[in-house]
């Protein structure tokens, strides 16, 4: 989980676990106790904890059961699991014999994760991929300032090796030095975009009832993330400018 401060996350989760521990109530008519913390303190801490859980256990809202008789029970159990995951992640991977690099969906390009996040967390993987592709398309339109093209046509025009024209800016992954490398990276971006939208986005759109496994959806999002990063890191060439 690159970018995540594990020690900080464990402390924040621990604070929440402490605040939500049920203790005896001073009121005689309360059975089963009450959370240790004040409601406003728990709610405030939950705002931080939810974001940590989204990184560590993205599907906690659907995979962790809730006790209807205890407030914050789902959050608390997820927090306990997340602490264990953070503390023992390396040990678990070593003991299970799988220490290969792992991809976290939350570490993908921000455009992709922000587009997929809410549906991913609820287990709607196919729709999450569709929404991520829609987000990528919109961000690319914003970057080049075009609404007249979308999806494959948008990327083919944007990553074209031709000079920019009025109302037709180009995205340049590197300066045009006349080399075969320049031609290769431009062509690669166009081809990847065609593959993403023809092979991932369009089939999902035409078969709205289909669902994807979590692993397949993650691989699709990774492909979208590569394209998003290329777009985000490219410079925009407009008519009259040299690349």
Contacts of 221 (CB under 8 A, 6+ apart): 105, 108, 112, 113, 116, 128, 129, 132
Q: What is the pLDDT of residues 103-117, one digit of tens each?
A: 778 889 999 999 999
pLDDT of residue 39: 94
- pLDDT averaged per 10 residues in sequence order, the chain, 243 residues: 83 96 76 86 96 90 88 94 90 70 82 92 91 96 95 95 93 91 95 95 82 92 97 93 60
Residue ranges per domain, the chain? 6-95, 105-237
What is the Cα–Cα distance from 16 to 76, expressed in whole angstroms? 7
pLDDT of residue 107: 85
- Reduced to 3 states (helix: H, G, I; strand: E, B; else coil), residue 37 is coil
The rounded Cα 101 to chain-centroid distance in angstroms is: 17
User: What does the block give as tokens for 207?
Assistant: 């078969």
pLDDT of residue 15: 96
pLDDT of residue 100: 62
């Amino acid at each position: 989980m690159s970018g995540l401060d594990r020690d900080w996350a464990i402390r924040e989760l621990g604070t929440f676990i402490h605040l939500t521990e049920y203790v005896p109530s001073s009121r005689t008519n309360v059975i089963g106790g009450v959370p240790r913390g004040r409601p406003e303190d728990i709610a405030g801490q939950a705002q931080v904890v939810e974001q940590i859980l989204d990184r560590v256990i993205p599907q906690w809202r659907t995979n962790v059961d809730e006790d209807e008789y205890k407030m914050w029970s789902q959050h608390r159990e997820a927090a306990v699991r997340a602490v264990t995951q953070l503390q023992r992640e390396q040990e678990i991977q070593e003991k299970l014999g799988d220490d290969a690099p792992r991809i976290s969906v939350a570490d993908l390009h921000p455009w992709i994760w922000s587009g997929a996040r809410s549906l991913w967390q609820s287990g709607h993987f196919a729709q999450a991929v569709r929404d991520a592709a829609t987000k990528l398309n919109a961000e690319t339109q914003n970057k080049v300032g075009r609404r007249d093209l979308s999806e494959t046509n948008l990327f083919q025009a944007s990553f074209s090796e031709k000079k920019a024209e009025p109302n037709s800016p180009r995205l340049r992954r590197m300066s045009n030095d006349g080399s075969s490398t320049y031609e290769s990276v431009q062509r690669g971006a166009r081809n990847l975009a065609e593959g993403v939208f023809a092979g991932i986005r369009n089939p999902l759109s035409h078969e709205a009832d289909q669902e994807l496994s979590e692993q397949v959806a993650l691989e699709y999002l990774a492909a979208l993330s590569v394209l998003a990063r290329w777009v985000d890191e490219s410079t925009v060439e407009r008519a009259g400018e040299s690349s």
